[in-house]
Amino acid sequence: MPAISVENIRFSYGKLEALKGISFTVAPGEVLGFLGPNGAGKSTTIKILTGQLTPQAGVAQVLGLDVTKERTAFKARIGVCFEEKNLYQAMSGEENLRFFASLFGVRRPDVMGLLQQVGLADRARDRVSQYSKGMRQRLMMARALINNPEVLFLDEPTEGLDPVSAQTIRGIIQEQAERGVAVLLTTHDMWEADELSDRVAFINEGQLYAIDTPEVLKLQHGKRAVRVRRQLDGMVSEVVVPLETPEAGQQLKEAVSAPGLLTIHTEEATLEEVFIQMTGRGLRG
Amino acid sequence: MNRPVSRLAIIAAIIRKDLLEFSRDRLWMILTPLTLVMFTAIFWLMPYQVEETVTVGVAPGALGRALELLGSPGLRLVAFASEAELAAAVAGEQPDAPPLSIGLAFPEDFLLRAARGQPATVRVYVDALVPPEVRHAMTSAVREVAYTLSGAPLPVSLLAAEEVVLGTDRMGQQIPPRERFRPLLVFLVLMVEALALASLIAAEVSSRTIAALLVTPVRSADILAAKGLLGTVLAFAQAFLLLLVTHSLGGNTAALLLAVLLGALLVSGIGLYTGAAGKDFIGTLFLGALFMFPLMIPAFALLFPGTASAWVQVLPSYGIIQAMVGASHGQGFVELAGYFTSAALWVVAVFALGWLALQRKVTSP
């Protein structure tokens, strides 16, 4: 049974059609990267799947539970990390986590263990208003894990973070996936999506354009080539051999066997290039 | 494994969290006790009895002394030797004279003319601040004095015998300013707490922590219940303390407390609405003021009886204020049932409005 199952859901804000019937599934232990520019429908999808909005058509299930009919039941088993740092500023990190643990009915919340995991144990009693942006984001991640969720919804979890904080968050995402947690991850960072996601979904203007592994998408929709550099009589020259043509093998053989070989680089399309090719617009639009 | 969490436990957890946040908000932690102390001080500084004695200057002095012999409770006569001195005293230009706002200048031969039934002109000096009804009362008093002195009966009979008194007849038990002020003070205390509640909700909405709550087993009805309960308890406790320290729990105490409770619920509902509908803290304060000030009108009207128009009765706070006044004068639940019912209906309407505003806010893009 998929952890998340979405079938032809639609949603409009007044006349603005935010979702035009999208369908996908996420298996337990899978990380699905949800990619698209601002206003593509990513946040609306997450809001529907976390019970904040009700779809106007279609069926959405989380852990086999209908998100419109069994809200309390499925919400007890999910964790959400928002893009905005919506923490209680006047409360400490520890107090924030204890409060959310009480809402989930967690018997003995391992608050200090979680804070340790995100590197905030030594600042547990400081008020959130005194935290840096990176510390707040790490606390948001700890909050999303307070109820040992089976599904995680992560909306831009590393946006604007320093490399150390971003790496901590990525490590936690990988750990959770290995534990069997299904993760729906939205991000603008193509490298991150490529690194973390088992599959990626491209969404634009409320429609799903593609959903597959990053490798398949890049192979199917991106260019593949080998760039060969040579140096002869002090002059550097470069040959790019496209791999899609039938003559690619022969051309590559000639290129590397020529004298003065300096470097050989394989060239693959990035996810962003694939996205632009498929949708005709960039991811940061 | 997480245990299923009850709605009550969720509401209690939100209340505990809100109390923690409230206790760390310097503005409200200063404002709340300050309001209580300030309003208590205002209450005790207000006059505790009604000054019913009217001081009237009379000239010439001989006539004044003669009039004094007639004796009249509530009327203090001060004799002046001449009309000029009397006019100066009313104008406040006689430092030695007692404070005076009305003076009656009779002609020298007034008694003779009155005895003969001849017309006489009496000049009434009044301060510009004297209300018209008091001026008219003085004119009538002059005519009565004339007929009393002459021994002839008044040509026109008064309507006293046909007077119909509606409600509690408080003849001889006039309400002192302090008591008239009490409902307004109670309402102001409730209002401050409602604004505190509104600011808590506004912070929850603007910082989007409300979204974080709604992706847990918390429902928007739980948030509404928790905030409404906390706001009502805080407002009621403050108002109760004010009533306690101002020794105002007399009359029908149970009915009075019910009226205050309904007031606390009403302002909490408004706090919920303004907190959810306001864009930020300033917007919430503005909306709060916009709703709260009209609600104070029925309480203000008690300070100036007869000034309020009939439309005041449609204000949500009217029933609460009237019930408070009635209960403090000992009226029972049956007599106040109409006021309680209208107040309760308004409470339901305001809470529904607050819930709608909250729902709209959390489902907006």
DSSP string, B30-94: HHHHHHHHHHHHHHHHS-SS---PEEEEEESHHHHHHHHHH--TTEEEEE-SSHHHHHHHHTT--
Q: Is the dihedral of CA B105, B109, B114, B119 positive or negative?
A: negative
**Distances B81 to A100, B41, B58, B101 between C-alpha atoms, Å:** 85, 44, 9, 17
d(CA A28, CA A48): 19
Which domains does chain B possess?
7-47+174-362 (no CATH), 54-162 (3.40.190)
Share of chain B above pLDDT 70, in %: 81
Mean pLDDT of B313-335: 91
Give the separation between CA B199 and CA B21, rounded to whole angstroms: 11
Nearest CA in chain B to A106: B2
Residue B304 vs residue A26, higher pLDDT:
A26
DSSP state of A123: G
B125: nearest Cα among B141, B94, B104? B104
B267's enclosing H/E stretch is helix B253-277
Contacts of B4 in chain A (CB under 8 A): 76, 105
Coil, strand or helix: which one is A84? coil
Least confident of A141-155, B83-97, B320-334: B83-97
Asked if pLDDT for residue B19 goes beyond 90, the answer is: yes
Shortest CB distance from B21 goes to which of A52, A75, A91? A91
* The two structure tokens encoding residue A64: 């086999």
The confidence score (pLDDT) of residue A234 equals 86
- Our CA-based measurement puts residue A13 at a distance from the nearest CA of chain B, in whole angstroms, of 7
Q: Identify the residue with better confidence: B234 or B66.
A: B234
Helix, strand, coil percentages (3-state) for chain A, rounded to 5, are 35, 30, 35
Contact A82 B365 (CB under 8 A): no
Confidence of residue B99 (pLDDT cuts 50, 70, 90): confident
Cis status, amide bond into A37, omega within 30 of 0: no
Q: pLDDT, tens digit, for every residue of B117-161?
A: 777 788 888 877 666 666 677 777 767 766 666 666 544 443 433
Report the pLDDT value the prediction gives residue B69, as an integer from 0 to 100: 56
Evaluated on CA atoms A241, A243, A248, A249, the torsion sign reads positive
Residue A81, pLDDT score: 95
The 10s digit of each residue's pLDDT in A124-172 is 999 999 999 999 999 999 999 999 999 999 999 998 888 888 999 999 9
- Return the CATH number of the domain spanning residue range A4-213: 3.40.50.300
pLDDT of B167 > 50? The answer is no
* CB–CB contact A52 B10 (8 Å): no
Q: What letter does residue A128 receive in the DSSP assignment?
A: G
Segment B10-37 mean pLDDT: 92
The tokens describing B56, both together, are: 């009237």
- Angle among Cα B298, B303, B306 to the nearest 5 degrees reads 75
* B-proximal residues of A, 142-161, CB under 8 Å: 143, 147-148, 153
Q: What is the pLDDT of residue A182?
A: 98
Chain A residues with CB-CB distance to B21 below 8 A: 88, 90-91
Residues of A in contact with B17 (CB under 8 A): 88, 91, 99
| pLDDT exceeds cutoff 60 at B3 | yes
Tokens of B2: 């997480």
User: Residue B16: pLDDT above 90?
Assistant: yes
State the ipTM, two decimals: 0.86
Share of chain B above pLDDT 90, in %: 31
Task: Say whether A104 and B2 touch across the interface (CB within 8 A).
Answer: yes
Q: Does B209 touch chain A (CB under 8 A)?
A: yes
Strands A151-155 and A182-186: parallel
**So where are chain A's domains?**
4-213, 223-268
Q: Identify the bridge partners of residue A26 per DSSP, sorted by sequence position.
A: A4
Look up residue B107 and give its two tokens.
């002609």
Residues B208, B40 contacting (CB under 8 angstroms): no
Distance CA A62, CA A265 (A): 43
- B297 in Cβ contact with B315 (< 8 Å): yes
**Residues in chain A with pLDDT < 50?**
none
Position of tokens 């100036």?
B304
Mutate to test the interface with B, among A13, A49, A89, A104 (most CBs of B within 10 A): A104
Indicate the average pLDDT of chain B: 82
